[in-house]
Structure 1
Amino acid sequence: MPAFDLPPPELEHYRPPLDEPAGFDAFWRDTLKEAEQAEPLVSVRAVETGLRLTRTWDVTFRGFAGDPVRAWFSRPADTPEPLPAVVEFAGYGRGRGLPHERLTWVNAGYAHLLMDNRGQGDQYGSGGATPDPHAHAPGGPGPAVRGLLAPHDHHYRRLITDAVRAVTAVRALPGVDPARTVAVGNSQGGGLALAVAGLVPDLAAALVTAPLLCGIRRALDLTDQGPYGEIAAYLSVHRGAETAAYHTLAHLEGVSFARRAQAPAHFGVGLRDTVCPPSGAYAAFNRYAELTGTAPRKVLHAYPFNGHEGGDAVHVRRQLDWLADVLGVSRGPA
């Protein structure tokens, strides 16, 4: 697929106006206030993984409405000192899988919490373990359209709240330095990491790659792939529901979260990405922290000939180097 979005010189300065609802901040303040009533941790159980150099726990924490959310918590074996924590969010349709699947951050010396996606996990990967008991509002079968007609009903209101609560949960776990907590994700996970950056003011860093939910209205005009295609398909059947749907999606817009962020940020984007069009990532990057009166360190790596995979392993290495520098941690032996 050739490049299909704006030319790179335009992307580098792309700052689109926002149709941001007046009640955006109150909506999220009230949502999180309700979730914060419960203690974060429900259970922490050590599990055997067959890995000698990594220790792993099956964690259950309380997310939206106090619902139990599952996660894998791992850290390098024989490292008793408090470690910076990376909270990772998985992609669309994926669950937390098996505990030995994602070891990069643990091998780099971090504590690592991988959050399960409620009501997802059946499209690819190795499954999930967190149901969504609230998925009963009008909308289609996919997460992107569950509860599409009202902000309070939408799946992502619950999932974003879970993501914020995951940060609270990891900070309550032993062996974690709560002042050095980082949000990481690709695609849907990138959108969640960006939302966390906008909702958790003392986050240490955010690593956001090919983020979903950024520039939503433009993405719906550009692509029928992935989650945006599910929204378009729903609206093709429910003609006249556009106004309600756009109102809901405006409460989930990643660029609005980016404007409220303060943490240092590392972005990645493939310029041929037809799943999450690059203009959304650039809009979030260019307007990042503009409402906070801060100027956090930020960088964006663009991959002109890549699609949704972006820079893949090359980009991960850049993430590792950047985060080690931001947090002041050792990069290991040369």
Structure 2
Amino acid sequence: MIDELWKDYVPESTRESDFDAFWEETKLESKKQPLEVRLTDIPYPISSIHAQKLTFNGFNGTDIAGFYLKPDSVKENLPCLLVLHGYGGNKGSIANYAKYLMMGYAVVALDTRGHGESANGSYPAGGTGSWVTQGILDPRTYYYRHVYMDVIRAMDVIETLPELDHERIVIYGASMGGGIALAVAGLDNRASFVIADVPNMCDLPLAIQLKMEGSLVSVEQFLRQYPNQLKQVFKTLSYFDNKNLVENINCPVRFSAGGKDSICPPQTIYGVYNLITTEKDIIYYPFSGHDLPGSISHTDHLITMLSEYVTERVTES
């Protein structure tokens, strides 16, 4: 059922000559900024869940908010699931994470900057009213530079929590969250497992060319307004495109893709998947769209993967 034209498709790199230096300087800049972690208890009617609101300084001091959730029965050596939501969404309800807590995970669920309870920061350009175009004329001011670093800083936060097993950090995201998960794993080697459902930020020139739906439509709108900025926009995007980031991933990765997905088309996802050299797997649903992560069968598949991962790691240790 997979189109042979893109099952083996490998996109060309669009890395700029200063790509690695750009990210090394960005990470160094982030490390110099204080985290200022704040945890506040949240009264919750399910007594087996210890719920806290997490707040910390994201990149350039922007307040990032989320949940820190633990199963009350386990006090130490907890594997951690770092959960990242989709574009325009938020971290949702504590109840959404009960299944992971029942499996023995602690959960850090973030609101991406500009979403939910997280602040957005300020950006010098981006006239379409969408996060994806904010600061897009310079990679140093671009929205996703801040987003990727916010999540790397969340990894820094996780390392300050002594009850967590810092060798068992799983990043899970869908759509925008899946794209961020891949980028962070490419920039930071602390994740031990990554699950990226229908990820965005994959092979961006092709994704925009396909004229699909979703956040990248705002990039098209921006370019219609400012056609003279075409070269600069694609240069900026190249620093954040997962096809240029994933070659450094060193942990197992699990993908999903939907054949009818008009927001994160499978061609772009397979292109990035084919570039990964570590242990990997992809599950393809030929008749599913972008709502794939919420389907019953895929939810059960996700739970099975997470359960097997915990069992395997405990056995190894």
What TM bracket, shorter-length normalisation?
over 0.9
- 1:290-330 CA distances to partner (integer Å, 9 max, x unpaired)? xxxxxx32110000000112253322322232233334359
More helix, by proportion: 2
SS at 2:255 equivalent? strand
Residues 82-139 of structure 1, C-alpha deviation per residue, up to 9 Å, x if partnerless? 211010111101222343343332232201000111112xxxxxxx111122234344
Matched, 1:322 2:305: yes
Q: Which residue number corresponds to residue 310 of structure 1?
A: 292
Match of 1:123 in 2: none
Instruction: Give 1:309's aligned amino acid.
Output: D
Does structure 1 conserve the Cα–Cα contact (< 8 Å) formed by 2:202 and 2:243? yes
- Counterpart of 1:276 (choices 254, 259, 264) is 264
CA distance in 2, matches of 1:314, 1:21: 41
| TM superposition shift of 1:36 | 1.1
Tell me whether 1:70 sits opposite 2:65 in the alignment.
yes
What secondary structure, in the 3-state scheme, does the structure 1 residue paired with 2:292 have? Answer: coil
1:132 aligns with 2:110: no
CA RMSD for the aligned pairs? Answer: 1.9
Query: Residue 324 of structure 1 contacts residue 330 of structure 1 at CA under 8 Å; is this kept in 2?
Result: no
TM-score (norm 2): 0.93
Instruction: Give the secondary-structure state (helix, strand or coil) at the position aligned to 1:226.
Output: coil
Is the CA contact (8 Å cut-off) linking 1:184 and 1:206 kept in structure 2? yes
Q: 1:22 is matched by which residue type in structure 2? A: S
Q: Spell out structure 1 runs of 4+ moving beyond 6 A.
A: none
**Aligned ranges 1:96-245 → 2 under 5 Å:** 96-120=91-115, 128-245=116-233
Q: What SS does structure 1 have at the residue aligned with 2:21?
A: helix
In structure 1, the partner of 2:282 is 300
Instruction: Please report how far the alpha carbon of residue 49 of structure 1 lies from its aligned counterpart in structure 2 after TM superposition.
Output: 2.1
Q: Which amino acid aligns with 2:284?
A: A
CA contact (8 A) 2:79 2:169 kept: yes
% identical equivalent positions? 26
Asked whether the equivalents of residues 11 and 272 of structure 2 are also in contact (C-alpha less than 8 Å), the reply is no
Q: Which runs of 5+ in 1 are unaligned?
A: 121-127, 290-295
Deviates more, 1:206-215 or 1:14-23: 14-23
Look up the SS of the partner of 1:152 in the other structure. coil
Cα distance in 2 for partners of 1:41, 1:268 equals: 35
1:214 Cα deviation after fit: 0.2
> How far 1:74 sits from its partner (Å)?
0.5
Structure-2 separation of matches of 1:30 and 1:328? 38
CA offset digits 1:221-244 (Å, max 9, x no partner): 112411011111111111221111
What amino acid maps onto 2:219 in structure 1? I
